[in-house]
């Protein structure tokens, strides 16, 4: 390494051996899922096709020379008996992907998903606990070891990585036993090395890398493109500097690299080239955007654009329903083809969308949402394309972004409100079959993760997918004797909301009969207001459209109505939406009470526990 690099960087930066990271990559993932669905395919050469591209194939097909990302026609030529299945519908792959991640979370809360079939797991804590216990297998490596093991580091990383290899083996065993999925694993002291060493023995094998093997691993990489985050553009820049191999990158001075790529990028690349990586395993959150794109040869008419967008939107809704959050903006992307320069480029525009378009109940939308969203999409399209002039598009994309969670956790005030809402003017997108989905470039596709352009992250998070699933089974952790505690339990995650709702409960005392909305804390007022405003069932009833003002009939003195058991003064102070809801609940409760009272089982008029009603019932 040359001087200036050494001077600018702490030599230990990104290369300490304290951590133990496991990287797991499922074997021929889409093909595996297909083989699990149809076990007869296991012994046959199988390819998964998206449009005319083979996105993956099983290892039987690989023995015939078939490779990932081949043209279907080429693959067929190599292996005429190749069986092809369509892989445009990602639903089953996503489901399996979620299950894999959840299973791995039993070992550590630090699980970061990369694309659909890869996960990084930081098992440092579990390793430490295992080594602290009277665990006897501290110096046995499971699986392969990459490179040199003769020279050993004395920082204790040898034992840690050995235990890491045993954990990786247990993870793979459980993935196979519980989900039927085989994986490769790489074990090392940072993310970069764990990922790189993972693919050195495939399929269904694992490899551990000790510090002594790092140099050989790095120098054996084919070229700089093997480093995460080096995409087409960065590699072109490096090429212009005469760098294509890792060794060249290791040897170049920092200065020209900095001039070409900027300081941050240049420094990071230098570190990566010697296997140093300080990126932490970030537990995967939900993606920042959820989008679908469709590529085609040529679209020149507005009506075609609208048709395409309509199909995209409909399918996007399915993903949105799976995700469960409420988007705050919608984005349209087009790829324009320029006849004169024979060059395509992408352009995007986005606009905010009202959250009132999305019902609080997960999985449903008011029936007019689709039309409104399509109108927004077309407006955005018109901002990008001047349709008075000829245009030629080769791709259209629609994405939701700026998400916020639905505030419906147990501890949330919304749950008080949502519970009693029965109105659902809805389309249930869960009923739409996903089968037969045309070829589409889903932003969760492997490409998005693998070619993350000039950013030096492992994946473009905006494209990754993660669906809410039932909580993982309790940690077995019987692999090691030490008990492992999750740093964040589900109830911990709920705590901010719980805190707020208990504030409401506490402030009202026992028995709670009256509440003055204006005396509630700002936060609670806000939450109540937000909750109300995000309930289209209510806003629909009130005749509130996105931009229109609320119907005033509820507050009109002439029409003033109030539940008989509520203090009218308090009731009048409440926001109109809340008034309406209380009216509804009251009427429903009256009916229920009547029914139940008739069967002499219940105290008449007693509000349901946790109902917002109990806070405003007068002391009569
Ligand atoms: P990979 O992990 O790259 O490939 P794989 O799991 O099929 O095979 P391997 O055993 O070599 O790991 O990608 C995971 C899935 O992502 C793959 O099954 C199909 C999909 N994919 C795409 O959609 N587009 C792509 O360009 C690639 C490479 C994969
Ligand atoms: Mg894979």
State which ligand 1 atom lies nearest to the alpha carbon of 117: 14
Say what the pLDDT of residue 128 is: 93
Kind and range of the H or E run holding 158: helix 157-174
Phi-psi region of 147 (alpha: psi -120 to 50; beta: other; left: phi over 0): left
What angle in degrees, to the nearest 10, is found between the helix axes of 302-323 and 369-384?
130
Instruction: Give the closest ligand to the alpha carbon of residue 451.
Output: 1
Do residues 286 and 474 lie in contact, with contact meaning Cβ atoms separated by under 8 Å?
A: no
Compute the 3-state secondary structure of the chain and give helix, strand, coil in percent, each to the nearest 5.
45, 15, 40
Question: Has this prediction a pTM greater than 0.85?
Answer: no
Please tell me the distance from the alpha carbon of residue 229 to that of residue 225, in angstroms, as a whole number: 8
Hey, whose CA ends up nearest to atom 7 of ligand 1? 28
The question of whether 118 is a catalytic residue gets the answer yes
CB 69 less than 6 A from any atom of ligand 1: yes
Say what the pLDDT of residue 133 is: 86
Is pLDDT at 112 greater than 50 in this prediction? Answer: yes
Q: Which residue has the higher pLDDT, 316 or 514?
A: 316
Average pLDDT score over residue span 550-572: 45
185-206 confidence digits (pLDDT tens) = 999 999 999 999 999 999 999 9
Is pLDDT at 171 greater than 80 in this prediction? Answer: yes
- Of 331, 477, 442, 431, give the one whose Cα is nearest residue 97: 442
Residue 495: CB atoms within 10 Å: 14
CB 117 less than 6 A from any atom of ligand 1: yes
Instruction: Give the closest ligand to the alpha carbon of residue 58.
Output: 1
Distance 175 CA to ligand 2 centre (A): 14
Distance 373 CA to ligand 1 centre (A): 33
Say what the pLDDT of residue 5 is: 35
State which ligand 1 atom lies nearest to the alpha carbon of 50: 23
For residue 49, name the pLDDT band (cuts at 50, 70, 90). very high
Hey, whose CA ends up nearest to atom 21 of ligand 1? 446
Please tell me the distance from the alpha carbon of residue 257 to that of residue 225, in angstroms, as a whole number: 16
State which ligand 1 atom lies nearest to the alpha carbon of 56: 7
Average predicted confidence (pLDDT) for the chain = 71
Average pLDDT score over residue span 4-23: 64
CB 26 less than 6 A from any atom of ligand 1: yes
CB 68 less than 6 A from any atom of ligand 1: yes
Mutate-to-test residue for ligand 1 from 23, 36, 56, 448, highest number of ligand atoms within 8 A of CB: 56
Residue 544 is encoded by which pair of tokens?
């509130």
**Residue 327: Cβ-neighbour burial (10 angstroms; 0-12, 13-18, 19+):** buried
CB 88 less than 6 A from any atom of ligand 1: no
Asked which of 62-66, 301-305, 540-544 is least confident by mean pLDDT, the reply is 540-544
State which ligand 1 atom lies nearest to the alpha carbon of 203: 10
Instruction: Give the closest ligand to the alpha carbon of residue 70.
Output: 1
Q: Which residue has the higher pLDDT, 415 or 65?
A: 65
State which ligand 1 atom lies nearest to the alpha carbon of 59: 10
Rounded to the nearest 5°, which phi and psi values hold at 307? -60, -45
Asked which of 81-90, 404-413, 429-438 is least confident by mean pLDDT, the reply is 429-438
Say what the pLDDT of residue 601 is: 35
Do residues 205 and 184 lie in contact, with contact meaning Cβ atoms separated by under 8 Å?
A: yes
Residue 407 is encoded by which pair of tokens?
């505030």
Sheet strands side by side (includes 70-71): 70-71, 53-57, 46-50, 83-86
CB 93 less than 6 A from any atom of ligand 1: no
For residue 281, name the pLDDT band (cuts at 50, 70, 90). very high
Average pLDDT score over residue span 398-417: 62
**Among positive and negative, which fits the CA dihedral 209, 211, 215, 216?**
negative
Distance 446 CA to ligand 1 centre (A): 6
**Residue 249: Cβ-neighbour burial (10 angstroms; 0-12, 13-18, 19+):** buried
Is pLDDT at 312 greater than 60 in this prediction? Answer: yes
Please tell me the distance from the alpha carbon of residue 89 to that of residue 33, in angstroms, as a whole number: 12
Please tell me the distance from the alpha carbon of residue 179 to that of residue 176, in angstroms, as a whole number: 6
Say what the pLDDT of residue 544 is: 25
Kind and range of the H or E run holding 442: strand 441-442
Is pLDDT at 436 greater than 80 in this prediction? Answer: no
Distance 491 CA to ligand 1 centre (A): 36
Instruction: Give the closest ligand to the alpha carbon of residue 69.
Output: 1
Say what the pLDDT of residue 231 is: 86
385-405 confidence digits (pLDDT tens) = 999 999 999 999 999 999 887
Residue of 118, 258, 322, 467 with catalytic role: 118
Mutate-to-test residue for ligand 1 from 55, 59, 91, 443, highest number of ligand atoms within 8 A of CB: 55
Is pLDDT at 449 greater than 50 in this prediction? Answer: no
**Residue 604: Cβ-neighbour burial (10 angstroms; 0-12, 13-18, 19+):** exposed
Distance 118 CA to ligand 2 centre (A): 7
Residue 122: CB atoms within 10 Å: 23
Do residues 47 and 84 lie in contact, with contact meaning Cβ atoms separated by under 8 Å?
A: yes
Distance 29 CA to ligand 2 centre (A): 5
Which of 59-73, 414-428, 538-552, 560-574 is modeled with the greatest confidence?
59-73
**Among positive and negative, which fits the CA dihedral 565, 568, 573, 576?**
positive
Beta bridge partners of 122: 21
Hey, whose CA ends up nearest to atom 4 of ligand 1? 28
Do residues 428 and 350 lie in contact, with contact meaning Cβ atoms separated by under 8 Å?
A: no
């Amino acid at each position: 390494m040359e001087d200036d690099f050494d001077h600018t960087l702490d030599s230990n930066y990104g290369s300490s051996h304290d951590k133990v990271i496991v990287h797991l990559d499922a074997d021929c993932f889409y093909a595996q899922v297909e083989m699990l669905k149809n076990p007869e395919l296991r012994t046959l050469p199988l390819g998964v096709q998206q449009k005319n591209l083979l996105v993956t194939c099983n290892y039987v097909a690989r023995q015939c020379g078939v490779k990932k990302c081949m043209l279907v026609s080429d693959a067929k030529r190599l292996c005429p008996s190749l069986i092809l299945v369509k892989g445009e519908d990602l639903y089953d792959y996503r489901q399996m992907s979620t299950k894999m991640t959840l299973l791995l979370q039993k070992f550590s809360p630090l699980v970061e998903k990369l694309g659909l079939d890869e996960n990084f797991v930081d098992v440092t804590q579990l390793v430490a606990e295992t080594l602290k216990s009277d665990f006897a297998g501290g110096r046995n490596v499971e699986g392969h070891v990459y490179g040199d093991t003769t020279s050993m580091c004395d920082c204790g990383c040898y034992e840690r990585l050995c235990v890491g290899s045993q954990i990786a083996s247990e993870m793979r065993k459980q993935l196979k036993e519980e989900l039927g999925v085989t994986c490769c694993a790489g074990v090392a002291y940072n993310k970069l090395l764990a990922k790189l060493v993972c693919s050195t023995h495939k399929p269904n094998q694992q490899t551990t890398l000790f510090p002594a093997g790092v140099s050989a691993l790095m120098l054996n990489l084919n070229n700089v493109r093997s480093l995460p985050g080096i995409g087409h553009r960065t590699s072109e820049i490096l090429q212009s500097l005469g760098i294509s191999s890792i060794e060249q990158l290791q040897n170049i001075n920092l200065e020209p690299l900095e001039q070409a790529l900027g300081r941050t990028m240049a420094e990071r690349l230098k570190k990566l080239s010697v296997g140093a990586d300080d990126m932490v395993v970030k537990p995967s959150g939900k993606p920042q955007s959820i989008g679908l794109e469709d590529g085609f040869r040529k679209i020149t008419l507005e009506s075609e654009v609208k048709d395409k967008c309509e199909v995209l939107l409909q399918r996007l809704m399915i993903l949105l329903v799976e995700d469960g959050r409420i988007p705050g903006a919608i984005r349209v992307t087009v790829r324009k083809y320029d006849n004169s320069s024979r060059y395509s480029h992408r352009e995007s525009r986005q606009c905010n969308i009202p959250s009132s378009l999305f019902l609080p109940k997960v999985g449903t939308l008011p029936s007019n949402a689709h039309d409104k969203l399509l109108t927004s999409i077309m407006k955005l399209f018109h901002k990008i394309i001047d349709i008075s002039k000829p245009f030629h598009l080769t791709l259209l994309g629609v994405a939701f972004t700026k998400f916020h969670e639905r505030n419906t956790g147990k501890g949330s005030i919304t749950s008080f409100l949502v519970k009693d809402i029965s109105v659902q003017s809805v389309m249930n997108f869960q009923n739409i079959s996903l089968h037969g989905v045309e070829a589409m470039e889903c932003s969760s596709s492997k490409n998005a993760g693998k070619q993350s352009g000039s950013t030096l992250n492992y994946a473009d998070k905006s494209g990754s997918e993660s669906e809410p699933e039932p909580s993982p089974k309790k940690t077995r952790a019987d692999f090691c004797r030490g008990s492992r505690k999750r740093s964040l339990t589900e109830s911990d995650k709920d705590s901010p909301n719980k805190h707020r709702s208990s504030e409401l409960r506490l402030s009202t005392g026992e028995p709670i009969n009256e509440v003055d909305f204006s005396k509630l804390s700002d936060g609670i007022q806000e939450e109540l207001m937000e909750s109300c405003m995000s309930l289209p069932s209510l806003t629909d009833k009130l005749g509130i459209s996105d931009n229109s003002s609320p119907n005033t009939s509820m507050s009109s003195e002439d029409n003033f109505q109030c539940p008989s058991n509520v203090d009218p003064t308090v009731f009048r102070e409440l926001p109109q939406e809340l008034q309406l809801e209380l009216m509804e609940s009251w009427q429903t409760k009256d009916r229920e009470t009547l029914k139940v009272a008739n069967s002499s089982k219940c105290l008449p008029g007693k509000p349901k526990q946790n109902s917002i009603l109990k806070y405003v019932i007068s002391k009569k």
